[in-house]
Structure 1
Amino acid sequence: MQRLFICLEGSLLGDIVLLKTFDIAPGQVQTFLWDGGAEAWSQVILAEEICSANLRLVFHSWPQLSEHEGIIQSVLQTLAEVVYRLWPSWYCQDNLFADDATTEAAVLNSYRCLDWQRREAGVSLPWLKAAVRARQQGKVPLLDPFPHSLQLAQLALAIDPAGIVLVLALAEPRPADHRLLALARAVNWIAIHSQARVALWLPQSLAQAAALDSILYGAKVLPCPLTAAVATAEDEAKHVVFPIHGRPHPFSPGEEKLAQWLARDRELGQLFSFNQMVRTKRGQTYLVDLLWLEGRVIVEVDGYRHHGNRFGFNQDRHRDYDLLISDYVVLRLPHDEVLNDVEVAVEKIRDVVRFRRRQLCHTREVSL
């Protein structure tokens, strides 16, 4: 059984961060009650241990509930969008497919290991062929000919064969009882057919809703965050799926644009790797946006929503302190700056790299 780590800011403890752990088995639902709002993801920081556990999380929220079929369809849409953006790194494998092939058959014949599909239990070859064809046509692999149960299973496998954590959040404080009943049935159905570990976030106003009895048993009540986040920055779509390792985040326009510019830069192009794990002297593990390992330089591309409130501000300062005493230099770039003036962002990175090189050179000279 994998363990889901969640950090929250305690409303009575000021800036202290509480670490709570909960066990969720594949195919099961754990309900959490809080009043943070489905949009306040900056108040729910997944502890960095989850990166080490190689758990991949997918987030989906409902501002308002629809009927049963609409609930399932919306989750399918999010999973299909994640699969679309992860191409060609499906099944957590890079270079599994030939991205330049012209037909789905040619793509499928380019497996690195010929027996991969036989070893990967549960993969539907008809669905995979249709999904590859859709991706080559620039379409999200939401495939009507296949039943929802099969699509849920296949999309979850394509995101991570080891199993995903599906974080579902409802913002509406008091939906109609028949829609709450539909939610309870849909969430359990989604967990069973996707074999995901489902964390369901509900407003505390629904703690006594009889229609939710089947998913409220064993619910955890979490402290309300002190501040609310405002969903304004485009880059916050990157938090639909977490974590991503070794490449720019497919949902972050800033990281994608920065990767393109760095790849063309003779001085910087070979230095940085995207979304890397860093362990500090205090034993903390962080997932950083860009890392120049030899020079111990970290670049973070920060959006406003997750960094422009009290909780995010405090978290960033503690993280920077932890990295500083571990001999890392951290450069934070606003996401809007990267998108609107990427040349300036690249020059800032260049300045930090050159500063660090001079610093390291001086240190070596002193040691001699």
Structure 2
Amino acid sequence: MPRSGESTARPCLTPTDLAGRVAGLAGGERLAVIGLTRDGIGEALAAAEIGRGALLVAAEDPRSSTALVDRLLDDLAELALARWPDWPEGSAPAVSGPWLKAAATLAASGRPPRFRRVARALECAQLLRVVEPDSVILVAEVDPVSPARAAPVIEALEWCAGHGASCILALPAAPPDLPPYDRILYGACTIGRASRPAAERFISARSRAHPASEAERRVEAALAADPELAGLFTGNEIVRVAGHGQQPRVDLVCRAHRIVVEIDGPEHQASPKFAQDRHRDYELLVAGYLVLRLTNDQVTADLQRAIEKIRAVVRLRRPLSSASLPSAGDTTR
């Protein structure tokens, strides 16, 4: 084990990689994670659907490790009550059946199966098994700045790991390699995130519609108010196409699904605009963009129908389960 003060190269995981590693933790194992809060780890586990239960430990006021363990046992008892009568058969290893019988009696009467006079170790082992047969994952946040606040949390999680829990200690920032942190930093991992393209990191102005186009502004506002389409399109932007000529500026673009929506006034129906538009559609198509053209009159006459056409194109480019979304003509969302 590295001595205090030695620098240690720690594995850098994405939140998805972390979820996979946590899913493989056995009962009694623990892992320190640097770079995520307790809630951040919870979100990563929920998004990955790892197939195991995890409890975000309440440790906002870490007065002592004993108080934290008592609060944790209270929470486990509440969870056990919520799962009654769907408890696994048998009892945890090295725990006799009488506890399970007494706990079932309490749960059947609507009371949490918590026994203050029973040894905490016995209660912990049995409650862990009742709540999650494959071992509950406990996720607690450790203060990376205050050793006094960190020590009770670390002690409580070490105790829980010693009685069969899989434990995650979340450190939002890297702590010093000094007591009490040195007890958990061996084998720790850090969290990194893959860099996203600049277009995904750019936050555009609230409205980019052409100021002279009432139809564009109406469509933009309707898209922003639609639960499914909000945030997908930005307006009045340049789209890069092949060649060295002038790059087209389009009315609305969804870069994530490579869709362009053009809203044409009457001037687009005659030469030379009509021919220019056809060539621009070709350039956008070759660049991978699907172009939908609507007219000002269509938007003015039936705005919702125009939005449904856009929705249908989005679903064409981003197939989704028909069970999770209404049909393209359904406006009841």
TM-score of the pair, normalised by structure 2: 0.50
TM-score, normalising length: structure 1: 0.45
- Point out the structure with the larger strand share: 1
Does 1 or 2 have the higher relative contact order (CA < 8 Å, sep 6+)? 1
